[in-house]
Amino acid sequence: KSEKPSKMNSNNSSMAASAASGGSQASGCTLKDKRAQMADKVPVDANGNKLKPCCACPDTRKLRDQCIMAKGEDQCTDLIEAHKLCLRNLGFNI
């Protein structure tokens, strides 16, 4: 008695192979390609140094943090969103 491989197993193995290779077979774009594209879009400061989310938008970050410490996160959603918007405007994917 011989069992035929199911389509599900065949699809799962091709998806696993695609994931292992770091990309999608359908688009031809690998994870490595996507990382390279993202690296090209890293926000930089006035001196050309790469910005980190923790160091960007210090004004909105300070107001947000002070509000959260004093009132709690639930009372500071407007400042939280303002900080996220600032980060997005700099090019961060937040």
Binding-site residues for Cu cation sit at: 54-55
Dist. CA 61–CA 74, nearest whole Å: 16
Dist. CA 67–CA 79, nearest whole Å: 8
DSSP 46: T
CB distance 50 to 44 below 8 Å: yes
Bridge partners, residue 23, by sequence: 30
The Cβ of residue 13 has, within 10 Å, a number of other Cβ atoms equal to 11
* Annotated binding-site ranges: 54-55
